[in-house]
Amino acid sequence: MIDIKLLREDPERVRASQKARGEDPTLVDQILDLDRRRRSAQSEFEQLRAEQKAVSKDVGGLMGRAQKATKAGAADADELMAQAQAARSRAAELSDQVKELEQAADEAAREMETIALRVGNVVVDGVPTGGEEDFALVEEVGTPRDFVAEGFAPKDHVDLGLGLGIMDLERGAKVAGSRFYYLVGDGARLEYALMGLAQQVANDEGFVPLVVPNLVKGHTMAGAGFLDSHADEVYQLPADELYLTGTSEVGLAGYHLDEIVDLSAGPLRYTATSTCYRREAGSHGKDTKGIFRVHQFQKTEMFVYCRPEDAEAEHANLLRIERRMLDALELPYRVIDVAAGDLGGPAARKFDCEAWVPSQERYRELTSTSNCTTFQARRLGIRERDPQGNGTRIVATLNGTMLTNTRPMVALLENHQQADGSVRVPAALRPWLGGREVLEPVSR
């Protein structure tokens, strides 16, 4: 969620971020107006509430004095009773006004929160403006193979996978529908190898492994930022009030929900491998062939909690690890600085690593890493004790995909294919495949 203090102090920065994202900058003014109304109502409420308490306290004393004077037949008994009744009427009037002001403050706060949820994280300086095609190229690594020079036309991953006998798309569609699949034999082993390599590297890099829930409550899903503009991508179980996660980022983000974490020894770094579910709403007609864009897949994710001033360095570290993975898979790839309009709500900056896919003759996203600054942690109530001794403060969170099972498999099959339909296994994966160097086509 957007930091209301930042929005008050530097609204132009938030407006500029909204414009860079291609989103509505007038939301900033709506939130500020509601914030002023809420604070005004709250201030008046507190003043009248204090007066109400004082008047209510006086009512008891005045009523007691009036009753005593009446019993004694005192000359001022009627006047005292009138004062007591007037105080009681004033207390009742103040009570009604206090309730109205409290309701007005609460309504303004609820409306402000609803609108604030529509405002994405404030982008970091230097993020390119624009949409999906407006990224900035950071670096290209490796050179795509020249299949013409090698004397054969490259097959796509579907033809290769079927030839190797490692995937069954027909049965996947029959059992579960479009965008589902079976991995068979060496296909399943290749998935285990990819996830095994990711877990090994995460362990080498000092990340604490977690097994996370794949079903979470709405508060956690919304806190991680997945029920804003991308709610249509999420599978929901209404009867149980639970959501299927599309990434273990959600479970990792919720791990310290409503906690004060200790960052005195440095960032907290976690990793998880989980089954992920995405509806792929809005992708009709895109990547319908094969296993590049599917509804269910395995993914190993990294997640970091750190101090806000350390977030940029942690982001660079996550990108380094992702590049380490792609280097290990011996894939030609490029790194891009994603444009503001393609970031997604929680991210203030995101780098994607895209591998070359020969059959498509273009780079396709395999991994990404996002710096979410304090956006997620503010929603999830995750804080640390301020190092300067000023109470607590919101921490920063970051995430990065190490590997999924399907997209790297697409890139592996196509980039390491040979003329006879076999596929060379990168050295880094061979320990999980019994040392095998080549996957051979099955006989038909």
The rounded distance, in Å, linking the Cα atoms of 202 and 328 is 13
* Residue 351, phi then psi, degrees to nearest 5: -110, 135
CB 416 within 8 A of CB 428: no
Count of H-run helices and E-run strands, the chain: 13, 18
8 is known as an active-site residue: no
Catalytic residue among 191, 322, 407, 414: 407
The rounded distance, in Å, linking the Cα atoms of 156 and 237 is 36
Structure token pair of residue 110: 């609820």
What three-state secondary structure class fits 334?
strand
Tell me 440's DSSP state.
P
Distance of CA 94 to the CA centre of its chain: 45
Catalytic residue among 248, 274, 368, 370: 368
Based on its alpha-carbon atoms, the radius of gyration of the chain, rounded to whole angstroms, reads 30
The rounded distance, in Å, linking the Cα atoms of 96 and 24 is 38
The rounded distance, in Å, linking the Cα atoms of 423 and 417 is 4
Catalytic residue among 365, 393, 424, 436: 365
Catalytic residue among 179, 189, 293, 379: 293
Of the candidates 223, 39, 201, 198, which has an alpha carbon nearest to the alpha carbon of residue 117? 223
118 is known as an active-site residue: no
293 is known as an active-site residue: yes
The rounded distance, in Å, linking the Cα atoms of 244 and 230 is 13
368 is known as an active-site residue: yes
What three-state secondary structure class fits 246?
coil
Catalytic residue among 21, 38, 269, 278: 278
44 is known as an active-site residue: no
The rounded distance, in Å, linking the Cα atoms of 201 and 207 is 9
* CB half-sphere exposure, 160, CA atoms < 13 A: 28
Q: For 271-332, give the DSSP string.
A: EEEEEEE---TT-TTSS-STTSS-SEEEEEEEEEEE-GGGHHHHHHHHHHHHHHHHHHTT--
Active-site residue numbers?
278, 293, 365, 368, 407
